[in-house]
Amino acid sequence: GLWTAVQHELPILFVVPRNGQYGILKSFAVLEQTPNVPGLDLPGLDFVALATGYGAYGVRANTLDEVREVCSKAFNRKGPTVLEVPVQATIPPLL
């Protein structure tokens, strides 16, 4: 989707909640009583850099005001915007 949006200069806003892990897979691991599965922590992922590499505008917002500012400008841009928003890393129960 991102590559196509860049190629066609579509003013799309992609919001990426970043918690630094595969939280849903950790939930399955807890459910299946298999804790500490390797590869589920994802430190260092940089969605802003990935977006820039595709030719999109990438930005990270850490506050609600920053999110509002990015959202208000995103659809006036020529091409897509990728907004990375850090979220709390919690592991929700599945059942």
DSSP 56: S
How many helices (H) does the chain have, and how many strands (E)?
4, 3
The CATH number of domain 2-86 is 3.40.50.970:
yes
DSSP 69: H
Q: How far apart are CA 77 and CA 58, in angstroms?
A: 12
Whether 69 and 81 have beta carbons less than 8 Å apart is answered as no
The whole-number pLDDT of residue 58 equals 97
Q: How far apart are CA 7 and CA 57, in angstroms?
A: 13
pLDDT in tens, 30-86: 889 998 899 999 888 899 999 999 999 999 999 999 999 999 999 999 999 999 999
What is the reported pTM? 0.81
Q: How far apart are CA 74 and CA 65, in angstroms?
A: 14
